[in-house]
Amino acid sequence: MSPGPSFEAHEIDLHGHRAVYRTAGEGPTVVLIHGMINSSRHWGDVAERLAPTHRVIAPDLIGHGDSATPRGDYSLGAHAASIRDLLVTLGVERATLVGHSLGGGVAMQFFYQFPQMVERLALVSSGGLGQEVSPLLRGAALPGSAALLRLATNRRLVAGLAGAGATLRRRGVAGGVYMQATARALAPLRDPGSRRAFLQTLRAVIDVRGQRVSARDRLYLLGEMPTLIVWGERDRTIPPEHGREAEREIPNCRFVSLPGVAHFPNLEDPDGLARALLAFLAETEPVTIEGRDWGAAIAHRNGGPPRARAEA
């Protein structure tokens, strides 16, 4: 299913740059954050399943989709701040955040920077929970990868990949969806600005040894925050074990495994992912975090409030 008319695209100006987002439905707000070289379009099937009971907002991260590709900061913190500015502009004070892959890292960073705006957190095949990542992504972070990426985005090559994926999908081969998703992701990278933004985003979180940014040391801050982790059992991009290990460290967390699914649950099994999200939304209460709660959580972890330092 492709995004229908109910998943409408909008454009606003943020700090002098074009920011695109899509919306659907009415009700409590759910923010869907896409992964690397994906876009809000990749959430279409999930958004339409959430829309009957929730207001869905899916931004194109800066440098991705139809948003601008400026030279600048593509760190997790910068992406999180851009989403904060979009939500404030739209009058959204609090929301449930759902992040896929890179978007999971952005969602966790958003929670860390703006905890008072987060009611629940859902992580889908998320980055930031361990070091291991596919060799393809590690290789893309190497010097000289820009030239290879330019070759990989050749129009004929991308079209061939998309066609092969469609053929496999018609034959019921699960890898066909993955190939189609890869082709959709590569197509926008024919634009030099998009390639530059992709490489800057990639190198902010991945190097030759794997993921270089981790949220594991701060998972305790989630405390009683309702947290959902969803992973495809066949994921070879980021190991499902990362999610299982995080589940054991997050106090109020549930883990859902999707059989037969690789790294793109939103494309490979939107029904299964939407069911997991809807159950999570229905069976948990939103949480509001105040500044004093944040300080208490850090103090508790450190064995109490900081002691006064004696004057020499």
Q: Per-domain residue ranges for the chain?
A: 8-132+213-301
On whether the pTM is more than 0.75, the answer is: yes
Residues 6+ apart with CB under 8 A from 173: none
Q: pLDDT at position 293, please?
A: 74
* Stated length of the chain: 312
CB of 287 closer than 8 Å to CB of 120: yes
CATH of 8-132+213-301, one of 1.10.760.10, 3.40.50.1820, 3.30.930.10, 3.40.50.300: 3.40.50.1820
Q: pLDDT at position 1, please?
A: 42
Question: Rounded CA gap, 246 and 228, in Å?
Answer: 10
Catalytic sites, residue numbers: 101, 235, 263
Query: What are the start-end ranges of the E strands in 109-262?
Result: 118-124, 206-207, 210-211, 227-232, 253-258
Question: Rounded CA gap, 303 and 279, in Å?
Answer: 36
CB of 193 closer than 8 Å to CB of 67: no
Average pLDDT, consecutive stretches of 10 residues, N- to C-terminus, the chain (312 residues): 66 93 97 92 96 97 88 91 97 97 97 96 97 84 66 66 79 73 69 78 86 91 95 94 96 95 93 98 94 75 52 42
Q: pLDDT at position 148, please?
A: 60
Report the chain's C-alpha Rg in angstroms. 19
